[in-house]
Amino acid sequence: MKFFPLLTAALVSSAAISATPLQARQASSSSSAAATSTQDSFSSSSSSSGSGSSATSSASASASSATSTSSSGSSTNSSIINSYNSTLSYNSTATANSSDVYGVSAAGFANVKSASNPLNIVLTNDDSWGSANIRALYYALRRAGHRVLMVAPSHNQSGKGGTVVLPASLNITSAGRGGFAPVGAPFAGLNVTDPGLRYFNGTPAACAGWALDHDAQYFFNATSRNDSTAGVDLVVSGPNEGTNLGPFLYTLSGTIGASYFAVERNVPAIAFSASTDVRQYTSLNLSDVDDESVKIATYSANFVSTVADNAKASNSSARVLPLGIGLTVNYPEIAPTGNCTDLEWVHTRLTGKAIIDRFVVNSTTGLPTYANYVSEGVNACLAGNCSLPGETDVVENGNCQASASIYSVDYDAPTNATQDLVAALTSGIQSLNSNGTASNSSANSTSA
């Protein structure tokens, strides 16, 4: 959490020195989360339903009793139980648009297209399971017909990149964002009224890994599949509260970090980042197609279904994305945050007008803070198609365009960009390894 003071500094200084969108969002995120945290106390009596079989039977009961619940969320904290090894799932035989499935059937998702190839999807983010954006996407993906297991951080985990931090205590010792995972709750929990809604007290990459290793095989009944990915076809991360544009934010963003962790675990992944503010799920208006989070969820679900259906057009068992490959999507400011109403999709690349930090000292505080720097290094085009527009420019050009960039987790440099370096390194290694020519090569070695 030592990241937050820096982020706050960036927000404070943003009047004079523009902070990156992510930094500004995360700063407001941390302060807002603190401001809205409640002093919920976890009811331990509700947490003690233990064994898999009793949990399974309560699954059906809860799933059906949840059907007429309104969105008030007032019964939230007593509904959390331990999700470790839980065999609970939601009622996957109910049709996606069945009017008795809470959220999924909401009128706000009228523009979600049905997927021809329903997927097993793990959904995560970095802002926490209480974020409006991730809850809306959970319902939108289910509305499209996908089976969705959400395992998102209990606490705000913005800016963690691909770092893996696991729970350090069996019970949560400080309330998660919004108080939705209260003090005393287990490190991994689920909402019994909808067992697809889960949290884990770890970083985004850790949530993706925990979902794959301890939830997915039960949730998707994957034990019969002999499937190394636990039956998961796709990991979706986000939509983040704030954009993540360019290579620097790619490494820094927990939203994207969860996605590249999944890609490295053999599972295709798509990260979504939006130009939205911090918002708790309890403020969602699921019956309004123009609710900002509902709208972004609709765009995102339709993007997922379209990409997957195209990938599977001639072979329904084809992977959604090739091994080692992921997608990162960014949205401009959609109404009501912005005035974009007619979104256009653009195939982009990560480099191109992207930013890195440079560090400056605030003359009032005497402390370092940072400013944006559009450097040549972060924008060097070395791989992929250099004629594509950069995602930073596309999302920030005011033309209501969303970017979709393809990334690879093969960070080796392309050979055609490094021919001279390869030659120098090869001869350098030869001389370093050669005892016989040690005296000859010392000049070359020391000057290298």
Q: What 3-state DSSP class applies to 213?
A: helix
Quote the CA–CA distance of 173 and 428 in Å, as a whole number.
53
In residues, how long is the chain? 448
Q: What 3-state DSSP class applies to 308?
A: helix
Quote the CA–CA distance of 96 and 119 in Å, as a whole number.
13
The least distance separating ligand NAG from the CB of residue 281, rounded to whole angstroms, comes to: 7
Contacts of 163 (CB under 8 A, 6+ apart): 203, 205, 254, 257
- The C-alpha R_g of the chain, in whole angstroms, comes to 23
Residue 108 or 257 with smaller CB distance to ligand NAG: 108
Residue 1 or 424 with smaller CB distance to ligand NAG: 424
The least distance separating ligand NAG from the CB of residue 122, rounded to whole angstroms, comes to: 17
Quote the CA–CA distance of 229 and 364 in Å, as a whole number.
53
The least distance separating ligand NAG from the CB of residue 393, rounded to whole angstroms, comes to: 16
Residue 225 or 313 with smaller CB distance to ligand NAG: 225
The least distance separating ligand NAG from the CB of residue 102, rounded to whole angstroms, comes to: 5
The least distance separating ligand NAG from the CB of residue 161, rounded to whole angstroms, comes to: 25
Contact 138, 103 (CB under 8 A): yes
Residue 16 or 323 with smaller CB distance to ligand NAG: 16
Q: What 3-state DSSP class applies to 63?
A: helix
Q: Cβ atoms within 10 A of the Cβ of 445, count?
A: 12
Residue type, 112: V
Residue 256 or 350 with smaller CB distance to ligand NAG: 350
Active site residue 237: no
Q: What 3-state DSSP class applies to 352?
A: coil
Can you give the binding site for ligand NAG, defined by CB under 6 A? Answer: 12-13, 15-17, 38, 40-44, 47-48, 60, 63-64, 66, 69, 71, 73, 76-79, 82, 84-85, 91, 93-95, 97-98, 102, 114, 170-171, 179-180, 184, 186, 191, 193-194, 197, 221, 224, 333, 338-339, 362, 364-365, 386, 414, 416-417, 427, 431, 435, 437, 440-441, 444
The least distance separating ligand NAG from the CB of residue 66, rounded to whole angstroms, comes to: 5
Q: Which of 118, 117, 121, 113 is nearest to 270 (CA)?
A: 121
DSSP 8-state class, residue 319? -
Catalytic residue among 89, 105, 253, 273: 273
Residue 163 or 408 with smaller CB distance to ligand NAG: 408
Contact 256, 223 (CB under 8 A): no
Q: Which residues are catalytic?
A: 273
